[in-house]
Structure 1
């Protein structure tokens, strides 16, 4: 069964104290629904505190990154075993900031995807084109390469795709519903070609300057199964508004 998701990626924001205040803010607003999940991706320092606080709430916890090895001489890295131990369920892999700032390529991203699945974590594979690539009409070729190489060797449909056009991340400019519709339809076709009928259960999220005033029109688009929210997720009340918008559009 395909599910709808609202994920908040905090990036390098919030102390443990601020994280606990945020968790307290969410209490009472989020209800369990088998078709819908709301999740938060705090920084590594706050992951365990957040996971413990929301354990009795219908809120899932994600990590922003991970290494593909279980242990080793990898200074500064976090392993899948460490994440599982503290109750993490999802992990972002291939976010544009990891690709472009930290120079992670599709080969490394693929290793992380395979490791996450092997350790029963759900990878959220982030894909998207730069503004230059879009202007050069390379959107589909970039998306195809990122999916084919990122999912190389994957035989399970236990993952999520997050389409985040790089030109829309943190810029205040989001893809129009029509632009998003075209790319999400293309992604759905690629997934069907690789996974057949089981691809119908794979959720495809949109991300990139999501705000309260634009999310409704995006959430109505076929094949947009939720949102990966950056800056707008840092404010608890705004995140709750986005949660209500997605529920109103998808859970009819």
Structure 2
């Protein structure tokens, strides 16, 4: 099971230092754990879990004010990235063309790519066919056979709302996604300690991408413990 934490724009550097120290002592070699902190914490190190970047631009360096580029990531030894998160798409206007460009660039540079997809509530209400058409469109120009691809299905209406998709909804969607790629499929969207066990039991769910529930390291440790029992 892959268990990943996306801190988004939360926590201070000192809090992250403390978090990493606690987590590194807890995680063992059998766990597959990733943490995506804000960029200012990229210099922190971990022996037993992987650190990734929440966003980066698809160039080595250059005149891209405010962006993180490959040169910086190489300097920090970072080889894991989130691409296509709904907040990047919906708040910052990243369209499918840009997501695909980022994917191609970081795949060429041998990154593990957590590629995020997910539909809005409006699309969900239109039914199964609309959901599947929309999710398929988010794979446009994406190499679904890339060996370091990890797909994270995060229904937009469940992110940060405290409302997770129903077990039946997750299973149906993940079964469809399995027809599109053989790569690991994670579920994200209000994953909590109370529901992670049931989520990880679902067929074709290979792990979880966790947002706010991961900000407390003790809570995140408990979620990793749950995942250990699902292998």
Give the TM-score band, short-chain normalised: over 0.9
Conserved? CA contact 2:155–2:188, under 8 Å: yes
Matched residue, 2:226:
245
> 2:53 is matched with which residue?
63
Secondary structure at 1:73 match in 2: coil
Structure 2 Cα separation of the partners of residues 171 and 158 of structure 1: 30
- Tell me the CA shift for residue 107 of structure 1: 0.5
Q: Alignment partner of 1:78: what SS?
A: coil
Deviates more, 1:204-213 or 1:20-29: 20-29
Q: Distance in 1 between matches of 2:57 and 2:168?
A: 36
* Structure 2 residue 179 is matched with structure 1 residue 182: no
Matched, 1:78 2:68: yes
Q: Does 1:234 align with 2:226?
A: no
- SS of the equivalent of 1:71 reads coil
Report the counterpart of residue 38 of structure 1 in structure 2. Answer: 33
Q: CA deviation at 1:28?
A: 2.6
Q: Is the 8 A contact 1:63 1:90 kept in 2?
A: yes
Q: 2:24 touches 2:48 (CA, 8 Å); kept in 1? A: no
C-alpha distance in 2 between matches for 1:150 and 1:241: 37
Runs (4+) off by over 3 Å? none
Change (3 A) 1:62 1:97: same
1:203 aligns with 184
Counterparts of 1:219 and 1:15, CA distance in 2: 30
The answer to which structure has the higher helix fraction is 1
Unmatched runs of 5 consecutive residues or more in structure 1: 192-198
Aligned equivalent of 1:194: none
Mapped partners of 2:153, 2:121: distance in 1: 14
Partner of 2:4: 7
Q: State yes or no: 1:224 paired with 2:221.
A: no
Distance between the aligned counterparts of 1:42 and 1:239, measured in 2?
Answer: 14
What are structure 2's unaligned runs of at least 5 residues? none
Count of residue correspondences = 229
Checking the alignment, whether the CA contact within 8 Å between 2:3 and 2:33 is kept in structure 1 is yes
Q: Which moved more, 1:170-179 or 1:83-92?
A: 83-92
Residues 170 and 208, structure 1, Cα contact 8 Å, conserved in 2: yes
Q: Give me the CA root mean square deviation.
A: 1.3
Query: For the Cα contact (< 8 Å) 2:13–2:41, is it kept in 1?
Result: yes
Q: Distance in 2 between matches of 1:106 and 1:20?
A: 35
C-alpha distance in 2, partners of 1:180/1:150? 24
| 1:145 aligned to which of 132, 137, 152 | 137
| Correspondence for 1:29 | 26
